[in-house]
Structure 1
Amino acid sequence: MSIKVRALGDKDFFSWLGLFEGYSEFYKNELTDQKALQVWAWIIDKNESLTGAVAVDDDGRFVGLAHYREVPNTLSATHGLFLDDLFVTPESRSTGTGRALIEFAKEYAAQHRLTTVQWLTAADNEPAQRLYDDVATRTDWVTYEIEL
């Protein structure tokens, strides 16, 4: 099975939605129609920073997604890419799909002259961390959050 990764396009909504539902389920987050439509609107709006890519298999099925956005890095006075979401369908895990999506994001960052690609993952997502440890450097930063 070969995987092709490409930017999301206007006509990809329904195939993307299936992946986004899987991603939301994976993180036990309820996905409402309103949330899905808002995220999709951000992705396709050229005035928004969020964009995305999709991994497609030989049969044309969407098997993975990545959402990312450009962010300023104040301490280096540069811009980087933040990989907000990375998801691969269960049947396509351990096939190189996640790696291909990260490579696509890395190439996007290079083309846009960004200096870093960063992302977070859940502390218990050990299968993903094995890939991430292979393709990136784990940092010492600890994440905090305040819900409003």
Structure 2
Amino acid sequence: MSIKVRTLGDKDFFSWLGLFEGYSEFYKSALTDEKALQVWSWIIDKNHVLAGAVAVNDEGDLIGFAHYREVPNTLSATRGLYLDDLFVVPESRSTGVGRALIEFAKQYATQHHLSTMAWITATDNEEAQRLYDDVATRTDWVTYEIEL
């Protein structure tokens, strides 16, 4: 199976939506039409910080996505790339799709002269962590969150 990764386009909405539903289900997050449309509008708005890419298989099916955005790195006075979301359909996991999406985001960061690329994942997402441990350095940072 060959994998092509490309930026998301206007015509990808319905295929992307199916992936985003799978992503939301994986993280046990209720997805409403309003949430999906809001995220989609961010991705396709060239003036918004959120961007996206999809992995496409030989049949032309979307089998994964990455959402990412540029962020400031204040301590180094540089800019980095934050990988907000990475999802691969279950039947395509462990086939190189996640790695290809990460590589695409890394190339984006390089082309835009960004200094770092970072992301988080759930502590129990061990399958993804095997890939992440292979392509990146696990940090000592602890994440906190306040819901408002």
Q: By the TM > 0.5 criterion, same fold?
A: yes
Query: What's the counterpart of residue 128 of structure 2?
Result: 128
**How far is 1:47 from its partner?**
1.1
Query: What's the counterpart of residue 111 of structure 2?
Result: 111
In the TM superposition, 1:31-110 aligns within 5 A as 31-110=31-110
Q: How many residue pairs are counted as aligned between the two chains?
A: 148
CA deviation vs aligned residue, 1:48-83 (integer Å, no higher than 9, x gap): 100000000000000000000000000000000000
Q: Which runs of 4+ in 1 moved over 2 A?
A: none
Q: CA RMSD in A?
A: 0.3
- C-alpha distance in structure 2 between counterparts of 1:108 and 1:14, whole Å: 24
SS for the counterpart of 1:146 is coil
- C-alpha distance in structure 1 between counterparts of 2:125 and 2:146, whole Å: 22
Matched, 1:6 2:6: yes
- C-alpha distance in structure 1 between counterparts of 2:140 and 2:85, whole Å: 20
Structure 2: gaps of 5 or more residues: none
**How far is 1:141 from its partner?**
0.2
CA deviation vs aligned residue, 1:78-128 (integer Å, no higher than 9, x gap): 000000000000000000000000000000000000011100000000000
- C-alpha distance in structure 2 between counterparts of 1:47 and 1:60, whole Å: 28
